[in-house]
A and B are shown apart, each in its own frame.
Chain A
Amino acid sequence: MNGGRRGDRLVLTPEHVPIRLSPAGLGSRFLALMVDVVIILGVLGLLGTIVRNVLILTPGVAEAIMTTAGFVLFVGYPIWFELRHQGRTFGKRFFRLRVVDGRGLPIKLEQSFVRNIVRVLDFAPALYGVGGLVSLFDRDRRRLGDILADTLVVHERVPLRPQGQIRLERRFNTLRTPSAMRRIRQRVSLEEREFLLTLCMRADRLEESARYDLMEEVGTHYRKRLDIDAPHLSNENLVRDLTAALYNVGDPKT
């Protein structure tokens, strides 16, 4: 009933309102990491030019500064941005990811620190071998650092805008009469609504004949269930109008 998808974590706020968090997959996290690594390397390159060429330092001191800067940046950059920018480094922002704690709250300094120092173990033996493997088996796709810091990386979905897929180019919805709407609202369950939405959204990816058969079957079913007397309406258009009516799509009032 909460409309949650598989793998989502529900967090109950103190007001007893469940809020949904969708753990992010490995792919987007890896890409976000790449972006961050490129940024860090870029900053280090810039800093290196300044330290080595602009400032008048002996070579040993310059290298010492760069060694330290490299370490501080690789550990500190994610901590800084996770704290100051609501759990998002540049890479994470780019891929709509966010680090939150197990309750869905912004993470604290200590949590960010722990998840980022355990990275040395997650990275081992090479390219996040350990962390990647662990997160495949974790329900919330967490690496070891996340498990120990009680954090998770969530993916913030863009709100769905199903207009086009449901309605295509149809301008009038024959079902939008008070009596038909009443029957629709009374007789179509939540599960069926979700099913209808999924069907409409995937319809254009189906093979022509499969789509026709499926729409015929579903359309016939609802024509009977909802006592729809509209012989001129094809079954596919009936399904689309029905879904549009359920989701308030294409209604001139809204």
Chain B
Amino acid sequence: MAMDIDRFVEERKDRWRRMEEVLDRAEHATEQELGPEGMRELLRLYRLTSSDLNQARSLTADPELLERLNALAGRGYRFIYRSRRQGGTLARLRRFLGFEVPEAYRQEAWAVGTAAAALLLGALFGALAVIARPSAAEDLIPPQFFTQSPRERVEQIESQEERIATIDDAALFGAQLYTHNIRVSFLAFSLSALTLVAGVWILFYNGILLGAVATTYLMDGASLFFFAWVGPHGALELPSIAFAGAAGLVAGRALFFPGALSRGASLRRAMPRVWRMMVGVMLFLVAAGLIEGSFSQFSAKTVPYSLKIAVALVLHVALLAYLFVPRQETRA
């Protein structure tokens, strides 16, 4: 035994106490308040404590001492290797929305493409199935949507009072819609990330439903109504669900195929892009929900269908342009 444990503690306990003091101060101070001197001292103490912990482990099994050193070194480690943010809140926000969110979508275009393809292929499949055999719609679409024919429904909606007549109704309906849709997008993201396959399948399946419903309206001569009714919010909502699935694919790829990196490192590298994509999804879904709660609900009596479809097109193009037209990084 090279060193006496009593002497070991005696010689070092002052610096451990000092490290605790410095950490107490540092954890509640800004870096300016701490100053370069304080940072240097903390770093020095952290390194000393780390080596003390290593030595102590070979000297003793005293749980009290080891626990204390472990906690102390752990606190120092957490403080020194934490990450820091830069820039003011507003500048960061502008950079985040103006550059980082769309950039993430462009970087992960493969995932966005895969998710969109699943949704569109599903829609095509649903449409073809209904065209080939109109009764297929009843097999594909859940029965609760089959209470009336498209034509009857259009007549009913157009002859009634507007369903959403006041801002009050619109606000409440919109809030319910976007909280629900965001929750659904979280679920789509999670399933997609943790299984990859299920995420793509859900998008494909929803595409089938959408394609089948659209085609039944089309074949019943109610296509204008359908696009005016679904378009304004659907222009943002449907891409958003695909985007949530795409963000899931990005996370899932990092989880299941980390390549040369460790799984943790691979996930941590993908995480910023996942976060940016999902913030985009949430923003789009809030906008979509507010539109769905109000504008989408107006029948031809209030707003001409051609105007509603034009709005839908503008929204969709604006969304895609925002995300996929490359732009220079704005200097914050």
Residues of A1-48 whose CB lies within 8 A of B: 1-3, 13-17, 19-20
Say how far A186's CB is from chain B's closest CB, in angstroms.
7
CB < 8 Å neighbour of A157 from B67, B167, B183, B190 = B67
Interchain CB contact (< 8 A) of B268 among A2, A104, A150, A161:
A150
How far is A119 from B182 in the complex, measured between Cα atoms in Å?
13
- A63 near B264: Cβ-Cβ < 8 Å: no
B: number of interface residues (CB 8 Å): 58
Output the least CB separation between B310 and chain A (Å): 28
Mask of B127-159 contacts with A, CB within 8 angstroms, 1/0: 000000000000000000000000000000000
Is A193 part of the contact surface with B, judged by Cβ < 8 Å? yes
| A121-B47 in contact (CB<8A) | no
Chain A residues, Cβ within 8 Å of B186: 117-121
Q: Which of B56-64, B222-230, B316-324 contacts A (4 or more CB under 8 A)?
A: B56-64
Chain B residues closer than 8 Å to A253, beta-carbon distance: 6
Q: Are B194 and A144 in contact (CB under 8 A)?
A: yes
Most chain B beta carbons < 10 A, residue from A70, A102, A148: A148
| Known contacts A17-B54, A60-B170, A117-B186; 4 further A-B pairs (Cβ under 8 A) | A13-B81, A124-B187, A159-B67, A161-B64
Residue B311 at the chain A interface, CB threshold 8 Å: no
Ranked 3 nearest A-B pairs via Cβ: A60-B168, A121-B190, A64-B175
Asked if B63 and A159 make an inter-chain contact with CB atoms under 8 angstroms apart, the answer reads yes
Contact B179 A67 (CB under 8 A): yes
Task: Assess whether A13 is in contact with B73, with CB atoms less than 8 Å apart.
Answer: yes
Using a Cβ cutoff of 8 Å, how many contacts connect chains A and B?
160
13 A-B pairs (CB sep. < 8 Å): A14-B81, A15-B51, A64-B174, A65-B175, A70-B179, A106-B82, A120-B190, A121-B190, A148-B255, A149-B271, A193-B61, A247-B63, A248-B6
Asked whether B249 is an interface residue with its Cβ less than 8 Å from the other chain, the reply is no
Give chain B residues whose Cβ lies under 8 Å from the Cβ of A124: 187
**Stretch with Cβ within 8 A of A (4 or more), from B34-42, B200-208, B272-280, B295-303:** B272-280
Given contacts A20-B70, A157-B67, contact A110 B190 (CB under 8 A): no
Give Cα A156 to B68, complex, Å: 12
Residues on A with C-beta less than 8 A from B5 are 248
Q: Are A108 and B83 in contact (CB under 8 A)?
A: yes
Complex Cα gap A101–B168 (Å): 44
B63 contacts A150, CB within 8 Å?
no
- Point out residues on B near A: beta carbons under 8 Å: 1, 5-6, 9, 47, 50-51, 53-54, 57-58, 61-64, 66-68, 70-71, 73-74, 77-78, 81-83, 166-172, 174-176, 179, 182-183, 186-187, 189-191, 193-194, 251, 255, 263-264, 267-268, 271-272, 274-275, 278
| Residue of B with least CB distance to A116 | B186
A101 to B262, CA, bound (A): 14
Q: Does the CB pair B275–A114 fall under 8 Å?
A: yes
Q: Are B168 and A59 in contact (CB under 8 A)?
A: yes
Closest-CB distance, A49 to chain B (whole angstroms): 19
Q: Provide the residues of chain B in CB contact with A223, threshold 8 Å.
A: none
Q: Does A177 belong to the interface (CB within 8 Å)? A: no
The interface residues of chain B, by DSSP majority, are classed as helix
Which of B47, B82, B251, B275 is the most central at the interface, judged by chain A CB atoms within 10 Å of its CB? B275
Q: Is the CB of B191 within 8 A of A106?
A: no
Inter-subunit contact B61/A148 (CB<8 Å):
no
Chain B proximity of A58: nearest CB distance (Å): 5
A199 to chain B, nearest CB (A): 14
**CB distance B275 to A113 under 8 Å?**
yes
Q: A211 at interface (Cβ–Cβ under 8 A)?
A: no
A61 at the interface (CB under 8 A from B): yes
Whole-angstrom CA separation of A111 from B274 in the bound complex = 10
Q: B179 touches which one: A13, A15, A68, A144 (CB < 8 A)?
A: A68
Contacts of A159 in B (CB 8 A): 63-64, 67-68, 71
Could you tell me which residues of chain A, from 195 to 214, have a CB within 8 Å of some CB in chain B?
Answer: 197
Contact of B271 among A14, A19, A65, A111 (CB under 8 A): A111
Cβ-defined contact, B267 with A3, below 8 A: no
Identity of the chain A residue whose Cβ is nearest the Cβ of B276 in the assembled complex: A110
Cα–Cα, bound, A102→B255 (Å): 13
**A147 at interface by CB-CB < 8 Å:** yes
Instruction: Indicate whether A84 reaches chain B with its CB closer than 8 angstroms.
Output: no
A147 to B263, CA, bound (A): 10
